Amino acid sequence: MAVRVEDLIDLRDVRQVRGKQSPNLISQDSFRQIEILAKELGFREVHLSQASDIVTARWVRLKCRYGCAKYNTSWCCPPAAPNLQMTRDILSEYELAILLVSENTNEHFYRNSPSKRRIQIKQWKSTIALERKLFLMGYYKAFGLPADTCALCKECAYPKQCKFPNEKRPTMEACGIDVFQTLKNLDLSTGLVRKVQDCFYSYSLILLA
Ligand code: SF4
């Protein structure tokens, strides 16, 4: 079916506001469809962005390496996740991405509790389910980078073989993506949550085309 020019979201308009330019177009109907699918899967917000808005930085993996107990314990975290150069090369093969926002509260954020794991698994599976739906819609390059870390197994099998390889993905931070700067580039709030009982947002990404 032919798509009318007036039905297209022209990301150039978005870019002009931010002083950049891109030739990317996606139909408003397609984006609305993606939004509906994402919301059905529990995401609160869906933002279309250019892959060039996604920022990578060395400090991100530094924080993984020094200060995170997950380092070298999961297939989805460094050093198993794509390194910075590989991430930059991968991003250069995409023009569009979808940022997905989830809203959560979890008093047990700093504890390995069943409630924490439930939230992690839901976000993980929702991102991968949407990636699959996008693939079936024709976005054959769709690739998800879910929020947090993979908790599909109580304990990751790493370095032994992953138990659910179809659902194995790296997280944004694990690939060296600077989520804070990326959010700023999309004019989204980057406020920190200071009390563990407060609501917080988490972010997943799907590289699209
Ligand atoms: S599915 Fe299990 S083994 Fe595979 S990355 Fe996730 S936690 Fe690790």
What's the pTM?
Answer: 0.87
Q: Containing domain of residue 35, as a range?
A: 5-207
Cβ(145) to ligand 1 under 6 A? no
Cβ(81) to ligand 1 under 6 A? no
In sequence order, which ranges of 84-171 are alpha helices (DSSP H)? 84-91, 114-136
Instruction: Report the C-alpha gap between 120 and 189 in whole angstroms.
Output: 22
State the pLDDT at residue 1: 39
74 CA to middle of ligand 1, Å? 7
State the pLDDT at residue 96: 95
State the pLDDT at residue 197: 75
Q: What is the mean pLDDT of the chain?
A: 87
Counted domains in the chain = 1
Q: pLDDT tens for residues 142-184?
A: 999 999 899 999 999 999 999 999 999 999 999 999 999 999 9
Q: What is the CA radius of gyration of the chain?
A: 17
pLDDT mean over 1-28: 48
Instruction: Return the ligand 1 atom nearest residue 74 CA.
Output: 8
pLDDT mean over 80-103: 96
State the pLDDT at residue 159: 97
Are 141 and 109 in contact by the 8 Å Cβ rule? The answer is: no
